A and B are shown apart, each in its own frame.
Chain A
Amino acid sequence: MMRGFRISPSMAVVAVLVILTLLGAWRYDGFIGTYNVQTVLRYNSMFALVALGMCFVIMTGGIDLSVGSVAAFSSVVAAHLSPYGLLPGLVGGLAAGLLAGLINALIITKLRILPFIATLATMLAASGTALLLANNQSVSVSYDTYFTNLGQGDLLSFMRPEWVDAEGAGILAGILGFILSFPTPAFIALAAYIGGAIIIKHTAFGRHVLAVGGGTEASRLMGLPVDRTIFLVYVISGGMAGMAGVILASQFGAGQPIEGIGWELFAIASVVVGGTLLTGGKGSIGGTLAGALLLGIIFTILNFENGMGWISLSAYWQSVVRGVFLFVVVVLQAKLSKQAKA
């Protein structure tokens, strides 16, 4: 019998992810082709980064609604600094995100204002500042420096041997070629997720994050550094949004002050789908990555369906689908957590 065997939410997500990928591979030409996979990964790595930061915040029982406009703000800063080189653009954009996160953290821990109000205010302020800095238009990045490589490049392409692309090189060469053409932003996101998972599983801070989400008062009574933990998760979320902004500017060749609308929803949906409880205290970094990929794949499948002409969905359906998706997931989570209590 299967007694004692529980399907965890993250396992379910991974299963759905695999099923959808197989379905896509069977139904569409080029779905698991190198080009499509790279495109999906390149584009969704921004969302994955934002979702990672959101995951930390939600684990403490908070929420960060400012991530989208913070990313937009960082993309503008990065674009302005891009003529000075890759590093200034990267560091500047990241610093802009960290600064916004720092402001969130200060408002929440020092002024004791509810996270969703604090981050709502930062969302306004970040988007206002982005528009001011960008003079109400998008800011093109410099193509003279290596800055655009961050979003458009493939990190390992320099070590790609010629025989990989040779005719009839075999399956191993195919796999190697696939790995070597992995886009740079996907590497950045992957590194961030590995770091995030290590932090949650193997550091005191990670334990504190989950403890604070499980019960703030209890954690305080146990002498855990509650304020410092909450402070740090918002800084992390700001940093992730900043990194996403840098990639945004680099990938699309422009700092975009009005981008980022709805990113917070994408991030929250990914986190929730991945099995992290909205009330905090329980969560999964890997699940969040799977959730972000799942959302990315669903939209890719919709695009392919559109391409095949069976259905004709305008871009406007994206938000409807996203909403329905969030609806299904939160209702399922509510039911599951009720069962768990019963």
Chain B
Amino acid sequence: MFDRAAFFQRYGVGLALVLLVIFNLAVTPNFATSQTLAVNLTQVCTIVIVGVGMTLVIATGGIDLSVGSLMAIAGALSPMFFTGQLFPVPNLYVGIALGIAFPILIAGMFGLFNGWLVTRFSIQPIIATLVLFIAGRGIAQVSTNGDLQVFKVPEFQSIAIGRVLGVPFQVWIMLVIVIVSAFVLHKTVFGRQVLAVGGNEAAARLSGVPVGRVKFLVYFVSGLCSGVAGLIVIAMNSAADANLIGLGMELDAIAAVVVGGTLLSGGRATIVGTLLGALVIQLVRYTLLANGVPDPAALVVKAGLIVLAVWLQRQEQA
């Protein structure tokens, strides 16, 4: 027998992606060029990276609204390190290493704060991460006084725009993160525990899963991913603007996760799905813009897409 629901659940995103590509090949001029591919890939990278962290959080039945603000914190702090603004650095490479490591770790620490609120006080994840969603961007703005920090450090910028084998370096970063986290989610004990917590927290606790530690870790990972994405954004722009880095990212990331087929209630998750989901969302936006639809209208379409994806999820569950 052909199970239609199961088919869509498994291949729905891929199918949508293929249809979008075919549509674009037929309609959009100059679609099948390497430039189009590069543009779309670089725009989707940060969404996928943040989406990976978000997938893990959602897999435990949580949500992380603070990702965009954590990106802003990491992005705003990094130039202070490699330009030697905070403390003198011996040479540029040490500065860059610190400017990469510290902001990512700091974003991770803020992620741990989210985890602390969720586990220690049993505060709903929406509200707990709302705290840093508001305060996080404020922290980034306060630490830079809201000023735009422009820099010209090609060595640092290569993490976004450098190319390896003709592919932008940030795409490689994205692929590594996707592959590693897909492996962790599906093949390791920790991955099983993540899904167990999301599937049935009480049962997971009774069967000895360290629920608190698992939740702590997923918010930590989400923070780290946001930090990486924040650095990529500033490396791409060769400037850090605390007001803009990662603005609205929580929506894009959640949308990618949901469209990719991860259950919002937790317990079932797919990292590759999130990658495909982000590609679908990016491609829809590209298709609309390339065919002369204004950007705000693309927002409305994205909203419809999110609702449609969640609704389809519900149908197959029912």
Closest to A110 in B: B311
Residue B166 at the A interface, CB < 8 A?
Answer: no
Name the contact of B138 in the complex, choosing from A118, A120, A132, A319 (C-beta under 8 A). Answer: A319
Q: Do B134 and A262 touch across chains, with their CB atoms under 8 A apart?
A: yes
Q: Do A331 and B123 touch across chains, with their CB atoms under 8 A apart?
A: yes
Interface window among A123-131, A206-214, A222-230: A123-131
Residue A268 at the B interface, CB < 8 A?
Answer: yes
Q: Do A124 and B310 touch across chains, with their CB atoms under 8 A apart?
A: no
Closest Cβ of chain A to B292, distance in Å, is 14
Task: For B145, list chain A residues within 8 Å (CB).
Answer: 314, 316
B259-318 CB contacts (< 8 Å) to partner A: 264, 294-300, 302-304, 306-307, 310-311, 314
What 9 A-B pairs are tightest by C-beta distance, nearest first? A323-B135, A128-B299, A319-B138, A131-B296, A320-B138, A316-B141, A125-B303, A124-B303, A334-B121
Q: Do B142 and A316 touch across chains, with their CB atoms under 8 A apart?
A: yes
Q: Contacts A113-B314, A319-B138, A320-B139: A330 and B296 contacting too (C-beta < 8 A)? A: no
Q: Do B138 and A128 touch across chains, with their CB atoms under 8 A apart?
A: no
Closest to A262 in B: B134
Name the contact of A323 in the complex, choosing from B132, B295, B303 (C-beta under 8 A). Answer: B132
Q: Do B131 and A330 touch across chains, with their CB atoms under 8 A apart?
A: yes
Q: Do B307 and A316 touch across chains, with their CB atoms under 8 A apart?
A: no
A81-124 CB contacts (< 8 Å) to partner B: 107, 111-114, 116-118, 120-124
Task: For A315, list chain B residues within 8 Å (CB).
Answer: 146
Residue A265 at the B interface, CB < 8 A?
Answer: yes
Task: For A131, list chain B residues within 8 Å (CB).
Answer: 295-296, 299
Q: Do A322 and B135 touch across chains, with their CB atoms under 8 A apart?
A: yes
Residues of B at the A interface (CB closer than 8 Å) are: 63, 117, 121-124, 126-128, 130-139, 141-142, 145-146, 251, 254, 258, 264, 294-300, 302-304, 306-307, 310-311, 314
Q: Contacts A316-B138, A326-B134, A331-B117: A63 and B126 contacting too (C-beta < 8 A)? A: yes
Task: For A272, list chain B residues within 8 Å (CB).
Answer: 127
Name the contact of A121 in the complex, choosing from B131, B135, B137, B303 (C-beta under 8 A). Answer: B303
Type the 1/0 row for A28-41, where 1 means its CB is closer than 8 Å to any CB of B: 00000000000000
Q: Contacts A128-B299, A323-B132: A114 and B121 contacting too (C-beta < 8 A)? A: no
Closest Cβ of chain B to A136, distance in Å, is 7
Q: Do B142 and A112 touch across chains, with their CB atoms under 8 A apart?
A: no
Closest Cβ of chain B to A167, distance in Å, is 46
Q: Do B135 and A327 touch across chains, with their CB atoms under 8 A apart?
A: yes
Name the contact of B314 in the complex, choosing from A111, A124, A279 (C-beta under 8 A). Answer: A111
Task: For B300, list chain A residues within 8 Å (CB).
Answer: 124-125, 128-129, 132
Q: Do A320 and B299 touch across chains, with their CB atoms under 8 A apart?
A: no
Give the interface size class of chain A: 35 or more
Residue A26 at the B interface, CB < 8 A?
Answer: no
A8-65 CB contacts (< 8 Å) to partner B: 63
Q: Do A326 and B311 touch across chains, with their CB atoms under 8 A apart?
A: no
Residues of A at the B interface (CB closer than 8 Å) are: 63, 107, 111-114, 116-118, 120-125, 127-132, 136, 262, 265, 268, 272, 278-279, 314-324, 326-327, 330-331, 334-335, 338
Closest to A120 in B: B251
Q: Do B146 and A330 touch across chains, with their CB atoms under 8 A apart?
A: no
C-alpha spacing A118/B314, complex, angstroms = 13
Q: Do A316 and B127 touch across chains, with their CB atoms under 8 A apart?
A: no
Name the contact of A335 in the complex, choosing from B121, B139, B307, B314 (C-beta under 8 A). Answer: B121
Q: Do B297 and A128 touch across chains, with their CB atoms under 8 A apart?
A: yes
Closest Cβ of chain B to A198, distance in Å, is 29
Q: Do A129 and B135 touch across chains, with their CB atoms under 8 A apart?
A: no
Q: Contacts A120-B254, A318-B138: A265 and B130 contacting too (C-beta < 8 A)? A: yes
Task: For A117, list chain B residues within 8 Å (CB).
Answer: 254, 258, 264, 306-307, 310
C-alpha spacing A131/B117, complex, angstroms = 36
Closest Cβ of chain B to A327, distance in Å, is 5
- Which of A131, A316, A318 has its CB near the most chain B CB atoms (within 10 A)? A316
Closest to B298 in A: A128
23 contacts between A and B (CB under 8 A): A107-B307, A111-B310, A113-B314, A114-B264, A116-B63, A117-B306, A117-B307, A120-B251, A122-B303, A124-B251, A128-B298, A129-B300, A314-B142, A320-B135, A320-B139, A323-B133, A326-B134, A330-B128, A330-B131, A331-B117, A331-B123, A334-B121, A334-B122
